């Protein structure tokens, strides 16, 4: 790394905070572009258009720096990737026609004929340069650790059309990580900010108009033929307009009126759309999870306290309140489909709802109840529950219910609301006890930065978790390539739940309602290669 030790720490913290901001969200969406399709006729081909509503402006669309979920969804129309993921989480060819991999290396063979929208060829050298650009800490790319292993070095062989990526630390999903890497031609790496509102992209669409806060227009490219498994853009709409609609009820109204074609609707407006039989595609994601601060001096550093906190709560009731009765019992601690490991790591590992058992556990740990309050060494058991207000009023109600249940049990509990961005600052600052903080990733090894290693400012282990079973099992899993380590990854996650380092509460299906189009969805939204106009 360049610069003084203080500069290194500041840079690392800044990069880590950007990564975390993309991951610790109400929906936990960090999956990125998978499949892409593209155009076959000049100027956008068949002339058909599709309008997709998004809740907020994406901000910068620069592909090596943008990691907001809206930006990821939009970039998936413009930038292709080396591989895509099938429904079961296994990689399928994209820009890379084939590959080979170990836990510390991968070699991708670049498909011939791939171009950026200016007509220049996308070469093995371009891909290697992008890997090295993101891997260089001086560039502070938030894609480091998500699409590119933190110790990656890439070399190109133009004659063989290959890119070889090597790492000094195990990267068991090095191929699957490549589906998160939006590919651009090398010349754009020198000026990534120039792509904040435009594209020079490898994917099926090009951005032709950007009006921040209002709409973005993508037109289908000519001659695209390197989509998932070599698919082409035949049948794709000629134009995709992304319209910013901040109010969900307004989006539902526009959808019903036929003025937009797709909208993500997760609130009360679902009921009237369902009554009107508007079709939707859904994607399950972790919606509610408690994270505990185990730093020295915090009451939640005590395992007995964490167990009691969870045993007092009726998690099923909390989940129902938080989702308006539309939630499900979670089975994972944050991976969003398609993902290679799918075992149930939650069932049977969380303390059951049993206030009497909670009282016994606290008593055994030296706590006493006096005057209706649990105390130890003369200090009352006091906790705060932090949460982001942008997760909606139902989550606020669930938090208040949790606080009420803890208070009735004899704990001094308070709700700690924060803004959507400040929840990250709160976690990074360390002055918190419990947080409603679902984490969403695409691969199990991406969870290790949150549940192992250093806390902020040197890392993203916000809860100062020190679980030897998780570390041992995750280390063993990382030594196995791809899905062959899933049994170990599942056991590692189960260890986190059993030790009450986290408490998954509820998952929820994010619903993409649609009229006049059909498509499939992944963690970032619509899978572009599947988008088609339809009747109705």
Residues 50, 55, 61, 65: what is their CA dihedral angle, to the nearest 10 degrees? -140
CATH code: domain 31-278+515-533 is 3.40.190.10
Helix, strand, or coil (residue 206): strand
d(CA 59, CA 306): 39
**8 A C-beta contact, residue 326 and residue 509:** yes
What length does the chain have? 536
**8 A C-beta contact, residue 502 and residue 470:** no
Helix, strand, or coil (residue 360): helix
Q: Which long-range contacts (CB under 8 A, 24 or more apart) does 324-327 make?
A: 324/267, 324/268, 324/394, 326/270, 326/508, 326/509, 327/287, 327/288, 327/506, 327/507, 327/508
d(CA 286, CA 502): 12
CA–chain centroid gap for 353, Å, is: 30
* The pLDDT value given to residue 327: 94
* The pLDDT value given to residue 34: 29
**Domain ranges (residues) in the chain:** 31-278+515-533, 284-509
Neighbours of 194 (CB within 10 A): 11
Q: Which residues are CB-neighbours of 351 under 8 A, at least 6 positions away? A: 307, 310, 311, 357, 358, 500
Q: Which residues are CB-neighbours of 364 under 8 A, at least 6 positions away? A: 304
Residues 451-470 as b/e (b if ≥16 CB within 10 A, e otherwise) read: bbeebbbebbbbbbbbbeeb
**8 A C-beta contact, residue 246 and residue 55:** yes
Weakly modelled stretches of the chain, pLDDT under 70: 1-47, 420-421, 536
Find out if CATH 3.10.105.10 is the number for domain 284-509: yes
- Burial-class residue 228 by CB neighbours within 10 Å (0-12, 13-18, 19+): buried
End-to-end CA distance of the chain: 56
Neighbours of 62 (CB within 10 A): 22
Helix, strand, or coil (residue 134): helix
* The pLDDT value given to residue 26: 30
d(CA 91, CA 179): 8
* The pLDDT value given to residue 32: 29
Residue found by looking up tokens 């056991």 in the block: 491
d(CA 147, CA 142): 9
Q: How far is CA 408 from each of CA 366, 373, 405, rounded to the nearest angstrom?
A: 20, 9, 5
d(CA 245, CA 215): 9
* The pLDDT value given to residue 420: 61
* The pLDDT value given to residue 421: 60
* The pLDDT value given to residue 266: 84
pLDDT above 70: percentage of residues in the chain: 91
The answer to whether the 31-278+515-533 and 284-509 domains have the same CATH topology is no
d(CA 163, CA 370): 67
């Amino acid at each position: 790394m360049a610069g003084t030790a203080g500069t290194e720490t500041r840079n690392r913290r800044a990069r880590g905070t950007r990564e975390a901001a993309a991951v610790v969200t109400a929906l936990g969406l960090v999956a990125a572009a998978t499949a892409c399709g593209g155009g076959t006729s000049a100027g956008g081909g068949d002339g058909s258009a599709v309008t997709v509503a998004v809740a907020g402006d994406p901000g910068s669309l620069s592909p090596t720096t943008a990691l907001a979920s809206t930006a990821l969804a939009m970039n998936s129309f413009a930038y292709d990737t080396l591989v895509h993921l099938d429904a079961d989480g296994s990689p399928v060819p994209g820009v890379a026609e084939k590959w080979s991999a170990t836990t510390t290396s991968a070699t991708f063979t670049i498909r011939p004929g791939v171009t950026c929208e200016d007509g220049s060829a996308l070469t093995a050298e371009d891909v290697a340069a992008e890997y090295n650009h993101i891997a260089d800490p001086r560039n502070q790319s938030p894609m480091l650790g998500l699409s590119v292993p933190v110790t990656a070095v890439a070399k190109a062989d133009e004659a063989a059309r290959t890119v070889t990526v090597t790492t000094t630390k195990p990267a068991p999903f090095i191929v699957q990580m490549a589906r998160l890497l939006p590919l651009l031609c090398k010349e754009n790496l020198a000026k990534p900010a120039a792509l904040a509102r435009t594209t020079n992209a490898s994917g099926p669409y090009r951005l032709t108009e950007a009006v921040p806060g209002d709409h973005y227009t993508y037109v289908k490219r000519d001659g695209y033929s390197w989509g998932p498994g070599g698919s082409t853009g035949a049948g794709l709409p000629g134009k995709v307009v992304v319209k910013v609609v901040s109010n969900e009820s307004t989006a539902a109204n526009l959808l019903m009126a036929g003025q937009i074609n797709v909208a993500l609707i997760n609130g009360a407006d679902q009921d009237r759309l369902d009554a009107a039989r508007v079709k939707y595609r859904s994607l399950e994601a972790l919606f509610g999870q408690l994270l505990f601060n185990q730093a020295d001096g915090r009451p939640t550093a005590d395992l007995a306290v964490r167990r009691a906190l969870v045993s007092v709560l009726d998690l099923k009731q909390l989940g129902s309140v938080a989702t308006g009765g539309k939630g499900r019992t979670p089975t994972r601690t944050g991976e969003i489909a398609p993902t290679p490991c799918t075992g149930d790591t939650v069932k049977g590992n969380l303390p059951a709802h049993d206030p009497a058992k909670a009282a016994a556990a606290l008593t055994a740990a030296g706590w006493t109840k006096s005057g209706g309050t649990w105390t130890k060494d003369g200090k009352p058991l006091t906790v705060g529950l932090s949460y982001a207000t942008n997760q909606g009023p139902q989550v606020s109600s669930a938090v208040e219910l949790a606080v009420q249940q803890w208070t009735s049990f004899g704990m001094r509990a308070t709700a700690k609301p924060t803004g959507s961005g400040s929840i990250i600052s709160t976690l990074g600052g360390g002055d918190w006890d419990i947080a409603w903080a679902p984490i969403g990733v695409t691969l199990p090894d991406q969870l290790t930065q949150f549940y192992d290693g250093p806390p902020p400012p040197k890392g993203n282990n916000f809860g100062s978790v020190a679980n030897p079973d998780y570390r041992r099992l995750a280390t063993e899993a990382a030594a196995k390539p791809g899905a062959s380590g899933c049994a170990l990854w599942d056991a590692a996650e189960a260890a986190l739940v059993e030790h009450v380092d986290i408490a998954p509460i509820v998952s929820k299906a994010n619903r993409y309602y649609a009229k006049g189009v059909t498509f499939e969805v992944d963690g970032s939204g619509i899978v572009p290669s599947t988008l088609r106009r339809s009747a109705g």
